[in-house]
């Protein structure tokens, strides 16, 4: 059975984390490890996480839940901690407030991509899908403007982060060798996804489209709150991977695209 490690990063997230915990708990697929990496919350986040762990442990869903709380150096440091501890075949980051579209999401991904029919060394390097954006109460707002392409390559992100981080399932043996770069405060996820895809290309492993919505993403995240800083970092990431001139040209196209969609 192909196993999935879901990593949830929390810090004083009592207002939104329950939706994420309920979403993982309800997944019908048994091969799930859920790591909750908490940054020493001072609100009710840990109580909710421990109650969820007890409920999951008492259920017959076959999930393994681990809760760890300690100070960290920010969200990407916490993500690296989750990456180091992960033991599944794939790793997925589903942060506080994010959720799966339905209880059968992971089961459907496994079926559509025929993952349980493949030996572990032949699994796709990445499985990816589409994302819907929801509000703080989990209500649907809109389909994410940037859509996952039919065929994804590491060069695809020249046009922006076409696959949301929450819809990007990376093979763990590849991902563990590619820690998040802590020089980035808001865009290390973009850099990490590109590096995972570049390594997949080097190894000749496919990136597989699940052809379904695989994540609900909450709109008010850290990148949204620090939009300008995030854009500066994203430019730096893209220039590193795709070259300065190409990145300048593409950002000119981004500006035109924004104007034409107003």
Structure confidence by residue, pLDDT tens digits, 171-229: 999 999 999 999 999 999 999 999 999 999 999 999 999 999 999 998 765 455 577 88
pLDDT mean over 52-60: 97
- Give me the phi and psi of 169, to 5 degrees please: -100, 115
φ/ψ (deg, to 5) at 253: -70, -35
Alpha carbon distance 173, 196 (integer Å): 10
d(CA 77, CA 181): 9
User: What pLDDT score was predicted for residue 262?
Assistant: 46
- Quick one: residue 243, left, alpha or beta (phi over 0 = left, psi -120 to 50 = alpha)? left
pLDDT digits (tens, 9 = 90+) for 78-113: 999 999 999 999 999 999 999 999 999 999 999 999
Nearest to 2 by CA among 208, 179, 159: 208
> Residue 99 has what DSSP assignment?
B
| Three-state secondary structure call for residue 169 | strand
Q: What is the mean pLDDT of the chain?
A: 92
Contacts of 187 (CB under 8 A, 6+ apart): 223, 230, 233, 234, 236, 237
Specify whether the CB–CB gap between 127 and 210 falls below 8 A: yes
Residue pair 27/109 in contact (Cβ under 8 Å)? The answer is no
């Amino acid at each position: 059975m192909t196993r999935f490690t879901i990593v949830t990063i929390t810090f004083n997230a009592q207002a939104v984390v329950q939706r994420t915990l309920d979403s993982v708990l309800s997944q019908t697929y048994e091969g799930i490890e859920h790591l909750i990496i908490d940054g020493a919350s001072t609100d009710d986040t840990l109580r909710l996480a421990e109650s969820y762990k007890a409920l999951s442990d008492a259920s017959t869903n076959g999930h393994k839940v681990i809760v760890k709380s300690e100070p960290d150096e920010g969200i990407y440091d916490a993500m690296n901690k989750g990456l180091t501890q992960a033991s599944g075949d794939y790793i997925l980051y589903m942060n506080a407030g994010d959720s799966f579209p339905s209880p059968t999401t992971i089961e459907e991904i496994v079926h559509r991509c025929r993952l349980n029919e493949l030996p572990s060394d032949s699994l796709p390097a990445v499985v990816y899908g589409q994302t819907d954006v929801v509000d703080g109460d989990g209500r649907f707002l809109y389909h994410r403007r940037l859509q996952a392409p039919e065929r994804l390559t590491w060069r695809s992100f020249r046009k922006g982060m076409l696959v949301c981080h929450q819809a990007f399932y990376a093979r763990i043996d590849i991902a563990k060798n590619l820690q998040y770069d802590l020089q980035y405060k808001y865009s290390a996820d973009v850099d990490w996804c590109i590096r995972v895809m570049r390594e997949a290309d080097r190894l000749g492993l496919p990136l597989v489209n699940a052809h379904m919505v695989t994540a609900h993403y909450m709109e008010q995240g850290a990148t949204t709150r620090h939009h300008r800083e995030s854009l500066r970092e994203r430019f730096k990431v893209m220039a590193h991977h795709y070259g300065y001139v190409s990145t300048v040209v593409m950002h000119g196209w981004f500006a035109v695209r924004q104007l034409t969609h107003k």
